[in-house]
Chains A and B, each alone.
Chain A
Amino acid sequence: MKTKTSFTRSRLIPGIVIIVTGLLIFLLFAINTQPQVTSRFGMNISASSEAIQIPDLVVPAQTGIYVLALVTVFFGAWQMARGIRSTGALIGIVAFSFVASFLIWATQGKSFNMVGMLSSSLVRATPIALAALCGVISERAAVVNIGIEGTMLLSAQAAVISATVSHNLYVGLVVAILTGGLVAAFHAFMVIRFKVNQIVSGVAINIFATGATSFISSRYLEKHTDLFNNSGTFPIISIPLLSKIPILGPVLFENSLVVYLTMLLVVVLQVVLFYTPWGLRTRAVGEHPKAADTLGIDVFFVRYVNVIIGGMIAGLGGAYFTIGSVGRFDEVMTAGKGFIGLAAMIFGKWNPVGAFTSSLIFGFTDSLQVKMQILGTPIPSEFLLMAPYIVTMIVLTGIVGRAMPPAADGEPYEKQ
């Protein structure tokens, strides 16, 4: 067959990219690293943590980066010569080497709390994951909800106001979830009943939410902070025994309620979507609504329920911003997390577990950016702040793992 050329090329280009990455590691980091200097990575979140203390990881900076650069070049050469089957593994190796050498370079001569960063990655991934789960559950039923950002913003404000007024964080949580459900119900009503273009409706929700929350903020919250906008936050709950495991303990089992709920939701949604009648129907409605209709499934009902449940999940995500982390509302505090969540959903191939895993990548980027500012790298903080957005755009190009959305995604269903 003459198709051989294209196979060779498909092997060659990634190979070259990997080798270039290896060289970049060398040029950017290895050259700028002092010999004899070490990088210290903290393996305990803090002295007060319940986890069993373990020694820190100390890496000789320059040697470490040289090794990583060599490993990368080696894999690039391997790819060019023989080809590596799994694209995922390939990208994983390259991304790991690059990030690891970046960290070693940035930490040289200093100390960097690794476990602290992993822990904050999970926390920072939480709102993104919730937005992504909202997207998954709606889009599996073929309703695109681009208004997640606005939904979270409204819920965040509703949560903090109700929690402050009632002096009860759980009231805030419930109100946030209900607000999310209400906004999503509005979206569902618009796109299902009135066949409004799904993206237009979502954008309208975002604009409305920005206006409404800013309006309430400047009308009430700014003047009466203690009355309305000072709720406190959910405490950290340590899970007995499990939280004692080194590294994993502080990262996974010393968190606040919202984080635990998120992890629980991931599992529940995965099971519901693929092992229950409701999940089967949801996916059928997302793939081929007409077929579902001919089998007596109420397409509209399935869509309403999924979108509203999705909205409630986004509402929980909104609660994270206020009562889950800082205890007060600031204007436009969601800062694009809703959209990043949508990217995580796409990258996660419309699966709850996949969406959560890719949210962790974004959470990691986000938390890395914060830690880098603390470490004081020569990169301006504004550029570090761009990192999550740039990663989102890269993910969306589909260079890494492209998946097909549900076949009917975004299309209104016309019942004759």
Chain B
Amino acid sequence: MTEKPIQPKKEEKAPASGQIRQALLVPALAVLTGLIIGAIIIIITNEKAATAYGNFFGDPLAALFASWEAVATAYGSLLVGSFGDPGKIINGLGILFSTGDSSKFIRALYPLSESLVTATPYIFAGLSVALGFRAGLFNVGAEGQLFIGTLASAFVGYSLVGLPWFIHLPLAILAGALGGALWGAIPGYLKAKTGAHEVVNTIMMNWIAFRLSDWLLNGPMKAPGFRPITPQIETSAELPRFFADPLRINWGFILALLAAYGVYWLLFKTTIGFEIRSVGLNPDAARYSGMSIVRNTVLVMALSGALSGLAGTAHVLGVDRWVGQGFSAGYGFDAIALALLGNSHPLGVVLAALLFGTLRSGATRMQSMAGIPIDIISIIQGLVIIFVAAPAIIRWLYRLRNIKSDTTVMVRGWGK
């Protein structure tokens, strides 16, 4: 027998503030590092900066200045794109107070509203992946589940006519959740019954969902006309918006926050969550103590799929109100980074989703203003995943000590 190291006995319930700082430090530094590397990429790919570096020894200041300018333009437009232009906001407020005309102010808030609008599907999809992680399942199929859920809810949204909103809206939401749940439950069932790895299967389900949606949008669900889009959903199925146009922030955001609380409650306060977490951390012990691995795996994948479905549902019912080809901006894939960044905890996921929601919506402006392709956000996300999953790198980079990393993510190998 190897001697088991005995941890020094100390009270595990550390002061809450310390705990929170510990929990936030690595993710925050991971995001920061991702942004720094993003800045480096911006500099490298900036023609002016590149030319200036060609003459670095001749005029080093010019090179540094060009770098600064490139990064400042890019990240500046990113910030304005996420939170709005402070000057315009203050100006709008002034007009609001002096004349009572709120239109300028509301218009200035548009970027902020867009950030929350983008964060909404992120919260749902992030929760979806996080819930899977808690059960030891890696749901890479959030994107496909989102597609199916969105189409299902859009179908209910436009095909049922004449229903009152309090029936039609819940029906459309339910359809979105069920569509996603179905798409998630299939790989879940295959995993539970045959051991087929959910990572590959959810990815296959993604591709099948993409093809299926191509067919649906070009065929059965196509609105009259040339473009492959669905008809506009009925007003009775719309998630109401809080403000007048152009602000698109709507009840979907509130639903997302409620879903986050719901997942938290389910995971940590109920017997169902107890089972899910046991299965995730030690499936052998879970089985030994009478929990059903099959039932939990299918349940979690279905719930996870439902959350992904809701991600698209909230967007289509609250924002777009019709579905066209390529309607998801990769929410399902970004969700993986969010779940990891949020340490698979609902609160963490919400924070991460707000962060990436603002980044993503700001990046749209960055693309048009600074000419930086929006894909830079995916690059940053890939990096953030690595840094969060390997806190050792962050610890090494920033010379940190004693950062405990309790990993909830447990993904297993093939067929085991």
Contacts and interface: CB of A to CB of B under 8 A. Distances in A.
Interface of A: 144, 146, 190, 194-201, 203-212, 214-215, 218-219, 335-336, 339, 342-343, 346, 380, 382-383, 385-386, 389-390, 392-393, 396-399, 402, 404-405, 409-411
15 contacts: A195-B390, A200-B389, A201-B386, A203-B140, A204-B382, A207-B382, A208-B382, A211-B378, A336-B207, A346-B414, A382-B211, A382-B212, A383-B215, A386-B208, A399-B194
Contact of A211 (B138, B377, B415): B377
Contacts of B203: 336, 339
B376 to A, nearest CB: 6
Contacts of A404: 415
Given A211-B376, A214-B373, A214-B375, A196 B389 contact: yes
Nearest to A199: B411
B164 interface: no
Contacts of A212: 375, 378-379, 382
A196 B204 CA distance: 24
Interface string B356-386: 0000000000000000010111111111011
Contacts of B214: 382
Contact of A392 (B41, B200, B211): B200
A219 B378 CA distance: 14
Contacts, number: 159
Contact of B211 (A385, A402, A411): A385
Interface string B391-403: 0110000000000
Contacts of A397: 190, 193-194, 196
A124 B212 CA distance: 23
Contact of A194 (B138, B381, B392): B392
Contacts of B377: 211
Interface of B is mostly: helix
Nearest to A402: B415
B270 interface: no
A218 B373 contact: yes
Contact of A144 (B206, B208, B413): B413
Contact of A197 (B219, B411, B414): B411
B204 A339 contact: yes
A410 B60 CA distance: 48
Contacts of A335: 207
A204 B200 contact: no
Interface stretch (B19-27, B291-299, B333-341): B333-341
Interface in B62-118: none
B138 to A, nearest CB: 6
A214 B413 contact: no
B375 A203 contact: no
A389 B206 CA distance: 9
A204 to B, nearest CB: 4
Contacts of A392: 200, 204
B412 interface: yes
A393 B373 contact: no
A218 to B, nearest CB: 4
B204 A204 contact: no
